[in-house]
Amino acid sequence: MGEWIDGYMQRLSRVREKNRIGGGQDRIDLIHALGKLTARERIAHILDEGSFEEIGSIVTDTRPSLDGKKRPDPSDGVVMGFGEIHGRPVALYVMDFTVMSGSLGDQTAWKMADITAMAGERGLPLIGVIDSAGERLSFKGGDAGMNGMARFLRNYCLYSGVIPRITLLLGPCTGVLSVVPGLSDFLIINQDTGFLWLGGDISSDDAGDAVFHMEKTGQCDMLAESDVDAIEKMKTLLAYLPQNCWKGPAFLETGDDPLRREEALLDVMPDNPKFTYDMHEVIDKIVDNGEFLELKEDFATHLVVGFCRFGGRVAGIVANNPDELSGILEPDSSDKYDRFMRFLDAFNIPLVTLVDTTAFPPGDRWERLGIIRHGAKLLHSYAHLTCPKVTMVLRRSYGGANIVLGCSKMFPDYVYAWPTVEFAPTGPETVVHAVFHKELARAKEEGKYDEVYNFFLSILKEEFSVMNLAKQWTTYYTAHEVIDPRDTRSRIVKAIALLQNKKETLPEKK
């Protein structure tokens, strides 16, 4: 090696050594004491060994601090680049809490803006790991990084629906940075260390923690017990996702017979419609090997969403859960449904809807919460879906929920129904009280209330039965086919296979 280049190599070596130790050994020790991994340890767990190609490693903080002190600033607090996860190329950025508590500096934001654009241009999934105390203050321009942050957020939004964007929240995230987990397609939070808060007063002990954002705000998709657990959950999720919107998810030979009949489905549903059952029992029996990756499982639990495979092909399931609030669609479950179906559509992943619901709940409480607005949003989103759509109705499909969950005239590709199904504008029990209230009042005086009520109810239930309604192909309440429940899996598997080359267009718009 020539002497003239030796000095440059030594400088580069010193930079890399500084990057390796981040903010210093004392900060690394603090991170470990908190039960967290450092940024580079996280990258080592995320990426295949030896696959990481870092960019931006020479970057440092270029703005003077408020107190004039110079602090360790390798990579300006964010390590980023490209690598592979199980052989799949990805882009990632990982905020480094050892460097000024992961605060958002000017160069930090610009680096994140550029890695997002590069991921989008190359069609690579973007993995973000956030562990940051918020914006960094400096003498130049007040809050550092706002210009770069605006560029980052714009890029992040522009590539929504183009590439999958997964955020792992493994520490604090406050201020303007807090919108990034909300913009992500999926958010995984370490339940011990994750904290998400825009700003202002905190009025409860649980505000901002992982459970708060799982159960209360619905922003969290999965909870993790540690950094490593969060990373493993991310990898499991990524396996269901395509590289980008132009490529479908990978086919996987699961070894589960696509034509398997499931006898146990005949015993899932209770004889009395007043009793409930857990829709998870149905899902477990029809998906490949019973493997279902549920998202937001503790938020709006009366609606179940998540990923699975049918005959080796990835699909997204949206299912009412009668075991919780009769599977109603209210504002929270509507938001959960809307966000998930729009992701499926953007990446052309089949939507399988399992329906058993008593519809949108009526009343003053729900009206004040915006039930009409949320229901209208679902109508708008479903009407614009061009991904494969398969509807399977199991027991009840009442009112407006019948429309937003893929009834025949919203034109899903297939509508199947179990013979137990009732289609109705509202529950038959409600109709009996509304239409025959005089007869019921007289029967009550005569001591024959139950007899008369059950008589009218049986008539209406027969009228609303799919076995009666499906006799007319052109009606609103109908199905393409009434099926044996044991054939639920095979019907869905075949439908998804037939829809692989489906083309559906929408009216041209500006």
pLDDT at res. 285: 98
Q: What is the per-residue pLDDT across 15-31, written as a single tens digit (0 to 9) for each? A: 888 878 888 899 999 99
8 A C-beta contact, residue 352 and residue 311: no
Over 70: is that where the pLDDT of 1 sits? Answer: no
Decide which of 450 and 45 is more confident. 45
**Quick check: 338 and 381 in contact, CB under 8 A?**
yes
Residue of 218, 213, 220 whose CA lies nearest to 197:
213
Q: CA separation (Å) from 23 to 17, 248, 331?
A: 11, 41, 45
- The mean pLDDT of the chain is 91
In tens, the pLDDT along 226-254 reads 999 999 999 999 999 999 999 999 999 99
Of 431 and 67, which is predicted with more confidence?
A: 431
Residue 313 to residue 324: CA distance in whole angstroms: 29
Summarize the confidence of residues 324-330 as an average pLDDT: 90
Question: Cβ distance 231 to 190 under 8 Å?
Answer: no
pTM: 0.92
Q: Residue 168: which of 199, 143, 193, 140 has the closest Cα? A: 193
Comparing C-alpha atoms, which of 157, 186, 210 is closest to residue 305?
A: 186
- Mean pLDDT, residues 50-76: 79
pLDDT band at 159, cuts 50/70/90? very high
pLDDT of residue 311: 97
- Tokens 């980008």 identify what position? 244
pLDDT in tens, 300-314: 999 999 999 999 999
Closest CA to 184 of 227, 216, 153, 224: 153
What pLDDT band is residue 96 in, cutting at 50, 70 and 90? very high
Taking the C-alpha atoms of residue 425 and residue 475, their distance in angstroms, rounded to an integer, is 13
- Of 362 and 492, the one with more pLDDT: 492
Burial (CB count <10 Å: 0-12, 13-18, 19+), residue 97: buried
Q: Which of 64, 75, 59, 199 is nearest to 137 (CA)?
A: 64
Helices (H) and strands (E) in the chain, counts: 18, 17
The answer to whether residue 148 scores a pLDDT higher than 60 is yes
* Alpha carbons 254 and 282: distance in angstroms, whole number: 19
- pLDDT at residue number 119: 98
Q: What is the mean pLDDT of residues 362-377?
A: 91
pLDDT at 386 over 70: yes
CB 415 within 8 A of CB 480: yes
